[in-house]
Structure 1
């Protein structure tokens, strides 16, 4: 049950005995009665409180009841307050006519009829209670409307997210099938060709001088599928919060030299080259496998979108106790609007109008950088290449 708000009643009379008598007559547990001994005191109370009713004595020194009523009717805050006049003057003075002319709802002559006073006060207090209840109900309705509007907006957002998730799921399944089909098709065709050569007895086609190239081709296709599967596993671990790292002490420049050497042939295939700027050894404590994974991803992306131009890897250490590895390409660049979006899962760039990969590498790489207490960022003017920067803290102990 809602708690009832106490209604406020103002009584104004210059005689204290009259105030006390009227107070005793109309006081109630759900009613607050305020006293004013003059028109000036009444105005001060009217500015501070919202009253259900004002009972004004007509004949007061200074500002009389009629003057107070005129001021109340001329002020927005108080013009709605019902006014009841009281007077000990004779009826022949016709004060009642003047009182109604000022907007009073009633005029009572002294000595006051107790039942009549209580009845009139009860009526106006009841109206005030109804007004408060109406306001409360309107406020509750407005609050309910706002909550419903918020729920509706949240529902629309959830619905949009669900639809986006469904689209992403469908796109992802299609993407995985497409990306896996390429190496699988190559392996299948290679297998078919070898079977055909064997069936024809053409063993020279499978001779020792050709086997290394065959094995190398098979290895590349298998490694491509393994990378795809590893990326899918990593993105799953990221979302479950189980993507872990295993730190150990190692030297960073040696790792970069090894990666650059391993990717040299791939870079040549793109018509590009990889150059590691000279730098003194940098010792730190990170997960060597995961750092290599990030570097390979950054270099592979740089080759893919670098327009066949040379790629540089720079290393910088500073007084803050961090090392920064920059992968610098002179390729197609990245628009500012895409520079944060590209770190989201399944967001893919386009090389020569064709999207490549699953769009997981950068999302995983940023997560791995954060797991090391570092960060992965990109800078580009959108026209003349990009710089991807992996920043890692140096002073981390093995865990």
Structure 2
């Protein structure tokens, strides 16, 4: 039995019901559905509702005859490709066959109809229709396959680009890490070698109390630099795996900021930056004290690196249910292009390649603030410094 998708509709048009019944009985077959019309008007209604493999039109009908119907069909986009076969009981002397072909018919049959000839001709047109439909489905399937392959190819291109970016980021990261780790390590190694040389010469005078204090402070700064780099890398790993711990407790943001500013003051002074902070009234909220200190330390470190030796201002306050902290420097500023990516991993502002750091500070700071339900805003222009604003809900949602 033919597939449902291969079912063919046939249209037969005749003003005599007995002729329609006889022709339908002649054409009935599995996979063929015959539609009857007793006038050209009924035929047009059927043509609007169905797709036909063949139309068999009686020539002589009251009102619109078969030739006029054929001309209408040929002039309509939806029906102009339907094969038309004319049938007529009129004599050959009327030259209907010639007129039928002029109207766009593919065949002309004389009544009484030859049963075998009718079935044979209809079978040919039905097979052509089915083959055309199968070919259309195959072409559609091929086009669909082509579209899917295009989508897959685009995805592969995108994945390839992402992999290349990941490899490039990994290589850049390893290069930066090796450089950043070597800097404090080389200083420590050099200091150890100098002390070893002095001890080898039994020059104990080189280790006065003041000198020893200076050595210990310097060693501590280098060790803290190493610890900071390692902590940053560990935090990035925690963020990626969703394991960054946040332990909120009631905190006075004013006192927390004052402590961080006090701890940073010697470093700022050594780099030539004056650190300015006017302590306001207490701002109490529920935050992870250690993590907020980390955010503020990262912003101050950023301001110190790119502040060009100019004053750095720290301010904070509360507006409604939201607390805010601002860190403003007056250094090299950030280009519009860099503003779009400074919170990405391993990114540093243009013109800052010679500055220390892995390019993780702002990324980690933003992730910590987001984990508290807040956000970080930045305002900057090249050569005009930068203002970083941390906005934190006083009582973040659980």
Coarse TM-score class (shorter-chain normalised): over 0.9
Note if contact 1:348-1:356 (Cα within 8 Å) is conserved in structure 2: no
Asked if 1:131 corresponds to 2:135, the answer is: no
CA–CA distance in 2 between the matches of 1:215 and 1:305? 27
Partner of 1:380: 380
Asked if 1:196 corresponds to 2:197, the answer is: yes
Distance 1:355 1:9, change over 3 A: farther
Note if contact 1:336-1:381 (Cα within 8 Å) is conserved in structure 2: yes
Residue by residue, what CA displacement relative to the aligned partner does 1:267-313 show, whole Å, maximum 9, x if unpaired?
11222122224422111111111110011001110111112221112
Partner of 1:254: 255
CA–CA distance in 1 between the matches of 2:34 and 2:186? 92
Structure 1 residue ranges, 4+ long, deviating more than 4 angstroms after superposition = 350-353
CA–CA distance in 1 between the matches of 2:254 and 2:163? 45
CA–CA distance in 1 between the matches of 2:180 and 2:198? 28
TM-score (norm 2): 0.94
Note if contact 1:332-1:382 (Cα within 8 Å) is conserved in structure 2: yes
Following TM superposition, by how much is the alpha carbon of 1:343 offset from its aligned partner in structure 2, in angstroms? Answer: 0.9
Following TM superposition, by how much is the alpha carbon of 1:217 offset from its aligned partner in structure 2, in angstroms? Answer: 0.4
CA–CA distance in 1 between the matches of 2:290 and 2:178? 27
Per the alignment, in what secondary structure is the counterpart of residue 116 of structure 2?
helix
Partner of 1:155: 156
Note if contact 2:335-2:350 (Cα within 8 Å) is conserved in structure 1: no
Distance 1:13 1:340, change over 3 A: same
Partner of 2:6: 5
Following TM superposition, by how much is the alpha carbon of 1:57 offset from its aligned partner in structure 2, in angstroms? Answer: 0.8
CA–CA distance in 2 between the matches of 1:351 and 1:107? 86
Note if contact 1:349-1:355 (Cα within 8 Å) is conserved in structure 2: no
Per the alignment, in what secondary structure is the counterpart of residue 342 of structure 2?
helix
Partner of 2:358: 358
Distance 1:34 1:173, change over 3 A: same
Note if contact 2:334-2:350 (Cα within 8 Å) is conserved in structure 1: no
TM-score (norm 1): 0.94
CA–CA distance in 2 between the matches of 1:159 and 1:323? 43
Note if contact 1:10-1:35 (Cα within 8 Å) is conserved in structure 2: yes
Distance 1:237 1:148, change over 3 A: same
Residue by residue, what CA displacement relative to the aligned partner does 1:119-166 show, whole Å, maximum 9, x if unpaired?
222211111111111111111111111111222222122122222222
Distance 1:34 1:316, change over 3 A: farther
Distance 1:269 1:140, change over 3 A: same
Note if contact 2:338-2:350 (Cα within 8 Å) is conserved in structure 1: no
Asked if 1:335 corresponds to 2:335, the answer is: yes
Partner of 2:282: 281
Following TM superposition, by how much is the alpha carbon of 1:189 offset from its aligned partner in structure 2, in angstroms? Answer: 0.8
Residue by residue, what CA displacement relative to the aligned partner does 1:178-224 show, whole Å, maximum 9, x if unpaired?
10111001101111111111111111211222221111100000000
Structure 2 gap segments, 5+ residues each: none
Note if contact 1:305-1:351 (Cα within 8 Å) is conserved in structure 2: no
